Amino acid sequence: MDSATLSTEQLAGQRLMLGFDGIGFNADLAYLIRDLKAGGAILFGRNIAGPEALASLCRDMQACAREAGQPPLFIAIDQEGGPVARLKPPFTQFAGNACMRDGTDALAYARVTAGELTRAGINMNMAPVMDVAPREIASVMAGRAFGHDPGHVAAMGSLVIDELQRRGIMAVAKHFPGIGRTTLDSHLDLPVLDTGCDTLDGSDLLPFRAAIAHGVAGVMLSHILYRQLDPRWPASLSPAIARDMLRHRMGYDGVVMSDDLDMGAIAGRWDTATCMEQILAAEVDLALICHRSPAMETAYAAILKALQTDRNAIRAARASAQRILDLKGRFIS
């Protein structure tokens, strides 16, 4: 599909990946797909009643998009294993990245997870975590990262990316440019780091370079304020980090997404319209809003307004939509 065929309303909606309530297809979910024209949906434990119900839900979502003349949906989930795994038994449970001993473990996780996600109708996994968790600090990512060595993180994450995507599941490397140095949880508040480019280049960025080299489908930005990179905006809202560093300097031309804009690092500091302005300026493709609220309508309206009033914004939106459509074309039949 060509982004030139999309309406302005579709261009706006394709930039949104939205959470929802309920374990089955319902009128509000239909509204998010048909009226807000959402490009994707993200699943949480609150949406999952079991394998059969989940597969039915995903089929119904894709059918709704198809009947509404929409591109197919990204249907995403956080299934890292360990402390972050939305699918519970009878789905296979893995101990998580920190417990993986070697590449055999990484491949087994990716192989089994890809099969279970595919059978459920899920096409995107918000994994692998490519953060490096230094030994010398109480990293907030210690229980979720592959470890403290950038080379090991890069190697393990690359195996997961290759195996997930070989089996038809889009992988998302997170949380760029790395949150392993933080001790404060961005779900609760805004972490601030003074780490400079030289340190990041020699450590935190190495796994993301590997992910890019392995053709990772998506990169998720962190809600961390890196003062030496951008003294005003966290990575998820920063043109200096998302556009200039990730796209231009590191050459990533895939789909870039924010972390959840409902998280404490963002909510209460910046209103939704401001977040959308920054996301557009930073060439971030997908804005994640993971809890059902009026922020979804506000986000859609803010993007639509920008596209209706700014010719530069509409050109950039078509480029972003093309990245999204190209990725959907590769992975969603």
Catalytic positions are 187, 259
How far, CA to CA in Å, does 89 sit from each of 96, 136, 159, 167, 284? Answer: 15, 35, 25, 22, 35
DSSP tag of 103: H
DSSP tag of 73: P
Q: How many CA atoms lie within 13 A of 153 on its CB side?
A: 30
- In order, the DSSP letters of 199-220 are HHHHTTHHHHHHHHHTT-SEEE
Tell me if 128 sits within 8 A of 80, measured CB to CB: yes
Element (H, E) at 239: none
Of 81, 5, 72, 64, nearest to 29 (Cα)?
64
Longest CA–CA span in the chain (Å) reads: 54
The gap between the terminal CA atoms of the chain, to the nearest Å, is: 12
Between strands 84-85 and 79-81, the pairing is: antiparallel
d(CA 216, CA 198): 24
Structure tokens at 115: 């099969």
Tell me if 264 sits within 8 A of 234, measured CB to CB: no
How far, CA to CA in Å, does 74 sit from each of 48, 97, 293, 331? Answer: 17, 24, 20, 10
